[in-house]
Chains A and B, each alone.
Chain A
Amino acid sequence: MSMTKKAIHKPTAAEDELTTRRRFLTWLSGVGLVGSAIISIFSNLIFIKPRATYGEPNRFPIGRPEEFPPGTRISIDDKRVCIVREGNRLAAISTTCTHLGCIVAASETGFACPCHGSRFDQDGNVTGGPAPKPLPWYQVNLAPNGELEVDKDTEVPPGTYITV
């Protein structure tokens, strides 16, 4: 009697419960391990880029618009930007040479690099020498306190001015 019953095995209610329980536990372990792994990967990816470094800040104030009268073209060497103002339009052009990183000097025709002779026009386009790319332009903002702020983290297409 019992033999036949064992041959054709029909899961009892208790056994049923055991299977669901097993499935649930497997699911739980899976979610736990995979989830942890995913979070670790994310953390590591985010950690790779430091949130703050001790270099000079890349967004910095340069003063009020009045300090740059129309026609100004002035290089701020320690910040490596050149402030250009025409009429009431104002922009900041990088003065870091795109070749090997020297500071370019403003010249008659635009910018000239002292190291390997790269030349750039007024807008920073390469007109000669080994420099591979034009000088980047940076975003200039008008901060709420009325000062201009150059943001070297944000490049803008050459020829982008802000109106002051």
Chain B
Amino acid sequence: MRVALAISSFVALIIHGIVFYDQFFHQWEDHQTAYFEQARGLATKDAERAALEGRRPRIEQIIVTQFGEARVDRCTTCHIAIDDPRFKAHAEPLRTHPNSEALGDTFVNGRWERRHKFSDFGCTVCHDGQGRGLETFYAHGEDHFWPEPLLGYTTQETWRAEFKPKLLGKEFMQANCAQCHTEENFKSTPLVSRGRQLFFEKNCYGCHRIEGMSTGTLGPDLTEVGKKFKLDYLWESIVEPRANSAVSSMPKFNLSDEDVKSLVVFLKSRRGMNFAETSLERYRARIRESKVEPATQPTTEVAGVSAAARGERLINERACAACHKIGDRDGGIAPDLSFEGLLRDESWLMDHFRDPRSRVPDSIMPAFGFSDSEFLSMTQYLKSLTTPPPTATPAEAYKNLCARCHGEKGDGHGLIALYLDPYPRDLTKVAFMNSKPEERFIMSIKEGVPGTSMPAWGKVLNDAQIRDLLNYIWQTFVREPRRELKARNVPAHNPVAMSGESVARGERIYLQRCTGCHGRKADGKGPNSLDILPRPRNLRNRDFINSVSDRRLFDAIMYGVQGTAMPPWIDYGLSQNDVGDLVNYLRSLNQTN
């Protein structure tokens, strides 16, 4: 009993002692004591000596009120010699902050005059870090939960190890210079300028929005990206777009480390607020933004260069190959353009450039706001690409023309299939392949499927080759002899006349039977659509619907589409007249006005 009491009270004493020591003896006190001692030794004037007289360690604190929320900066508690020119050669933390013209400092009468005085700016405005922290780990923001670690000097404990060395260096601080110095080519922030240039050069702006700069909607809005993410996340998102979302459609740009760094610094500088602007100026800028054309990089005209050559340069400069395949460059996201001149005509290309969704309604390609003359040049260049890939054998033809979308195994999971809507057909689905007449496959190959990415291969292959290709598909993927088609009772033309009443009846049936998959808007995005592959048709894909005959619509609705989730509706009590109403309703949705 006595032993226990003795031991526990002694332990209590020790714990008390440790807590006391921990709370009241600090490393910063040692730094300050060391500073006072050395400064006393360095003092030459009485005034200097007097200033040190009676100074005892204490928490130094600068309160900065000018930049957003008031900041409390206690950095000078350790970095106490920061403004003492005599400590230039000392080791951190007792080192003078360097002076330089790049920082805006001026050299007058033999001494440096600071442009950014610590009493006004503090430290964290430029450096980031946690101003209130009094221990290195917290003050420098190494703590994983602190959103803004010291820029370019500290990386956090949990940051990806392989990126760490790349994230160090004072150049990263340019991101914070750009909080106030927003001029486009401010000479002290070359990386921000370079990053901005890359943002346009690599077409990032086509997908991403940055307030006042670009209006892309495909990718995340980057207006405040610098506030939300740390350096390593930005770096990772650029070099490995799939790191955070497995289905990200952002291309891998394979940039040099230097370029990635510029982009990271540029993005880090996007914090959605700009200390140099008042909120009124921001408001005005937003109003202006809604009026201006999307920003494009001016391309200098070179005299004597043909339109096609200029187009080729534009296509290279704008990193089209980051998504598309052109020759031996392949972004692995969008269709092969290597022989586009054979597949598409000028008006298709121009329409598609101006607004990709005018030709492929569910295309994810952004509408880049280039000038018409630039589009024309690019069209001319694509039109000049008329060398077909080798298609001597059907296997070769399949590999070169079909596999990119339909996949090596014919299962519809080609390299770029993920980005296509509608999804490429699964050619191994026997039920589907056997439910359609051979002629229909021939037509789809030959003429393409309007409103989708399937081009008209009849411009590359002759009829015999198309037949051979279809046979090859049958032998390789379907692997079953063709079955006889059962005769179906399908009218060639809609027997129900188009009328307001018929459309209204059709709509009622549509709402009851079809919305689950095809959606209320008939855009193919109904609540069930997520679980179904191939996805339900977008019934507002005008080009597609208008290219499909009444017979085919009746066939699909009444007898279903084998190998998909579309059931035969005659089994569920729809009469031919009901289907006629439905067809009228669908046609009415897609009428060109």
Contact = CB atoms under 8 A, between A and B. Distances in A.
A145 B58 contact: no
B23 A61 contact: no
Interface stretch (A68-76, A106-114, A115-123, A136-144): A136-144
A28 B85 CA distance: 54
A32 B13 contact: yes
A141 B83 contact: no
B17 interface: yes
Contact of A61 (B47, B84, B85, B119): B119
B118 to A, nearest CB: 8
A19 interface: no
Contact of B9 (A36, A52, A55): A36
Interface in A118-164: 141-147, 149, 154, 162-164
A18 to B, nearest CB: 11
Contacts of A43: 19-20, 23-24
A39 B20 contact: yes
Interface stretch (B48-56, B333-341, B424-432, B521-529): B48-56
A51 interface: yes
A145 B87 CA distance: 11
B85 A144 contact: yes
Nearest to B119: A61
Given A31-B13, A154-B54, A142 B20 contact: no
B197 interface: no
A9 B219 CA distance: 96
Given A141-B51, A144-B84, A52 B59 contact: yes
B50 A25 contact: no
B388 to A, nearest CB: 74
Interface string B54-67: 10001111110000
Given A144-B85, A162-B50, A52 B61 contact: yes
Contacts of B119: 60-61
Contacts of B117: 61
Nearest to B77: A52
A149 B51 contact: yes
Chain B contact-residue range equals: 35 or more
B39 to A, nearest CB: 7
Contacts of A142: 45, 47-48, 51
Contacts of B288: none
B63 A25 contact: no
A164 B47 contact: yes
A49 to B, nearest CB: 11
A13 to B, nearest CB: 21
Contacts of A40: 16
Interface in B4-28: 5-13, 16-17, 19-20, 23-24
Contacts of B45: 142
A55 B45 CA distance: 32
B90 interface: no
Contacts of B12: 32-33, 36
B63 A141 contact: no
A32 B6 contact: yes
B170 interface: no
B89 interface: no
Given A32-B9, A144-B84, A22 B2 contact: yes
A39 B25 CA distance: 14
B167 to A, nearest CB: 31
Given A143-B83, A144-B85, A28 B20 contact: no
Contacts of A1: none
Main secondary structure of the interface of B (DSSP, over half): helix
A65 to B, nearest CB: 10
A33 B63 contact: no
A163 B13 CA distance: 52
A56 B85 contact: no
Contacts of B47: 141-142, 162-164
B305 interface: no
Contacts of A39: 13, 16-17, 20
B17 A29 contact: no
Contact of B5 (A29, A46, A145, A147): A29
A54 B8 CA distance: 40
B3 interface: yes
A146 B20 contact: no
A90 B17 CA distance: 47
A141 B51 CA distance: 5
B84 A42 contact: no
Nearest to A51: B59
A35 B13 contact: yes
Contact of B6 (A25, A52, A154): A25
Greatest chain B CB density within 10 A among A40, A61, A144, A146 is at A144
A57 interface: yes
Contact of B48 (A24, A26, A144, A154): A144
Contacts of B39: 144
B74 interface: yes
B116 interface: no
Nearest to B120: A61
Contacts of A30: 9
Nearest to A46: B24
Contacts of B74: 52
A71 B45 CA distance: 24
Contacts of A36: 9, 12-13, 16
A54 B131 CA distance: 13
A149 B52 CA distance: 12
Given A39-B20, A144-B83, A57 B6 contact: no
A152 B397 CA distance: 87
A31 to B, nearest CB: 7
Nearest to B45: A142
A30 B10 CA distance: 9
A56 B62 CA distance: 8
B72 interface: yes
Contacts of A33: 9, 12-13
A29 B51 contact: no
Query: Which 8 A-B residue pairs are closest in the complex by CB-CB distance?
Result: A32-B9, A141-B51, A144-B84, A28-B6, A32-B10, A142-B47, A25-B6, A145-B83
28 contacts: A25-B6, A26-B2, A26-B6, A28-B9, A31-B10, A32-B8, A32-B13, A33-B9, A33-B13, A35-B13, A52-B59, A52-B61, A52-B74, A54-B72, A56-B63, A57-B62, A60-B119, A141-B51, A142-B48, A142-B51, A143-B51, A143-B84, A144-B85, A145-B83, A145-B114, A149-B51, A162-B50, A163-B46
Interface of A: 22, 24-26, 28-33, 35-36, 39-40, 42-43, 46, 51-52, 54-57, 60-61, 141-147, 149, 154, 162-164
Given A145-B114, A147-B83, A164-B47, 5 more contacts: A28-B10, A29-B9, A39-B20, A141-B50, A149-B51
